[in-house]
Amino acid sequence: MHIDSQVDITPRETAANSIDREELIAALRELLAAERAGARTAAACLAQAHNATLQAQLNQLQRQEVSSCRALLHCLQHFGVVKHFVTTQLSGLPHFNHC
């Protein structure tokens, strides 16, 4: 998945959908934690899968989870809050450097 650096992800304030910066950052961090857990779980399952069909499905799932992690990191970078340890932890996952 390619993240277009020209995409404007600045939150828009509307009467129906008002969220402050800190709430948005907290939500992004929560989503990142869930996606990281999914990527790790898929990688662990993949390591134990013996069926080629299951391996292919888990490999695809793991790639999607890591891709979501990268997209969320991009959002957090936009807000200037990405910590180095988060990137370091993700870089140990299969496919992190290849998505």
Gap between the Cα atoms of 31 and 29, Å rounded:
5
Output the pTM of the full model. Answer: 0.67
Query: What does each of the 99 residues of the chain score in pLDDT, given as a tens digit?
Result: 445 555 565 655 555 567 899 999 999 999 999 999 999 999 999 999 999 999 999 999 999 999 999 999 999 998 888 765 455 555 555 555 433
Asked whether the beta carbons of 66 and 39 are under 8 A apart, the reply is yes
Residue ranges covered by each domain of the chain: 21-98
Nearest-angstrom CA–CA distance, 39 and 32: 10
Tokens found for residue 44: 């662990």
